Amino acid sequence: MIDFLQQLKNRNESLFYYGLICLILSLIFIILTKISNTQVFNVNAWYKPFKFAFSTFLFVWAMAWYCYYLPNFNIKLFNWSVIILLGFEIFYIAFQASKGQLSHYNISTPIYSALYSIMAIAASLVTLYTAYVGILFFTNSFPDLPNYYLWAIRLGIIIFVIFSFEGFAMGSRLNHSVGAVNDNSNWFIIGWSKTVGDLRVSHFIGMHALQVLPILSYYILKNTKLTIGLSIVYGILALLTLIQALQGKPLIKAKKDSTIEIK
């Protein structure tokens, strides 16, 4: 682990430290869930900034690692684009959580509506930039990388981009639930609904293909066909959870008489 951290820092010092800051923030936010009673939609308000900070930490460290392989890539522009755009998102989500108000889906005032739109634009720009990185992994040659690992990065980015944009399915509805209004259930930290369809499930699964597929390919599969096969299965899994959610069905159904609120 120490060797990995040192390599990551050497590859991209800016994103290394930014990811570290996001990790520290995520730890602060999860602590706040234990000492604050502020809630939004019956869930502690600090769970959302925790999830976004931790997800950003995973994203920036993964991209810091992968972008190192790209020849003639303007890494400084990419770094600062990610830091500024995702930094704004985390700040605004945490700020709204501190007031017990929505960040996403909040169009209650012109200012909140504008800030929500800016968040959507920021996330879209980062996703498009990541898609561009994916194109570079297809158009450049990487003779020093194992072919199976290269395909894992390519397909991981493709699935990430598709299911990142799936967020618009939630944004257009101003609701992550299908069959209720922003339902959240007592399912550890992720809080996915146990009673109705939840569009966050496929969003989560698809976006984390960025980390899951390259890790499994490099350390376990070590085979191009197996990597491509797993990527297809993984993408189908994310798609099936999206279809299930759109049908109003939860991933895991709550047992009768069980509580569905995060205390």
Instruction: Pick the range with the lowest mean pLDDT from 122-126, 175-179, 189-193, 253-257.
Output: 253-257
Share of the chain above pLDDT 90, in %: 86
**Cβ–Cβ contacts within 10 Å for residue 154, how many?**
20
Q: What is the DSSP string of 72-111?
A: T--HHHHHHHHHHHHHHHHHHHHHHHHHT--STT--SSHH
**How many helices and strands in the chain, by DSSP H and E?**
10, 4
Amino acid identity for residue 39 in this structure = Q
Residue 256, pLDDT score: 59
Amino acid identity for residue 249 in this structure = K
With a cut of 90, say whether residue 70 has pLDDT above it: yes
With a cut of 50, say whether residue 259 has pLDDT above it: no
With a cut of 50, say whether residue 36 has pLDDT above it: yes
